[in-house]
Structure 1
């Protein structure tokens, strides 16, 4: 099951035409990854102090539709694979209709989907094993 992080598109996210600037989808996905870790009980700052850092190693992204000013969107994160020193995450950004929140039936449009490979590194920037407690929680 994917972790979801709700967002709204603000004027600062858009270009002159009110369309989300393409690089901002990467910011939305970064927030969803950070909040996913937080939901598992891991704060980024505490991880860094413990010598555990997660960095994007590779990214494959597909832009399907544009988000626009005032859209309610959701960035998702789902673990696809985990290795000793990295993981692959499937991430999406979807648009949800306002009425969807008030009913059991949701209207969603896929805007962006990406496969993100994340590496675990230590404070010196070298590959490091993901601690076992983090792996265990990620797999739940």
Structure 2
């Protein structure tokens, strides 16, 4: 994709698969979640920043295309790239790959919410200022 794409290496374990040794479909969402979390952590927005600002990010929308199956013991990478940045939301384009082969593609929008009331709130300026160049 672009230089702003974050990539997280992953291994498929037995807990990720169904009885046939194929990655269970919902686990692609977990792989994507890990990539988004590590992407944000690398920008300086780990759990300490999130908790200290009394906010959370929740998935608002998810669209996934499953292209090919991953299997037990495969070495994968999950990517995250910011596709859009709103006042209270971030849209990510994400891919799970094996080698150069795309296995699943997703577009996920996460919303910034107040931790106490779980109501929408603006992304803090310090965070937005670092996210803009990462687009």
Q: Same fold (TM over 0.5)?
A: yes
* Paired residues for 1:27-42 under 5 Å: 27-42=30-45
TM-score relative to the length of structure 2: 0.92
Partner residue of 1:121 out of 95, 113, 130: 113
Give structure 2 stretches of 5+ with no counterpart. Answer: none
- Report Cα offsets for 1:100-125 as digits up to 9, x if no partner: xxxxxxxx100000110110001110
Conserved 8 A contact 1:52-1:122: yes
- 1:48-87 equivalences in 2 (<5 Å): 48-87=51-90
1:134 has 2:127 as partner: yes
Quote the offset at 1:138 in angstroms.
Answer: 1.3
Which of 9, 20, 31 is the aligned partner of 1:17? 20
Distance 2:83 2:47 in 1: 21
Question: Tell me, which stretches of 5 or more residues in structure 1 are unaligned?
Answer: 97-107
1:132 Cα offset (Å): 1.1
Query: Once superposed, what is the RMSD of the aligned Cα atoms?
Result: 1.0
Larger radius of gyration: 1
Q: CA deviation at 1:52?
A: 1.7
- Tell me how far 1:25 sits from its aligned partner: 0.4
Please report how far the alpha carbon of residue 24 of structure 1 lies from its aligned counterpart in structure 2 after TM superposition: 0.5
Measure how far apart 1:73 and its partner are: 0.4
- Return the offset for 1:42: 1.0
Shift of 1:44: 2.4
**1:91 aligned counterpart, secondary structure:** strand
Deviation at residue 134 of structure 1 after TM alignment: 0.7
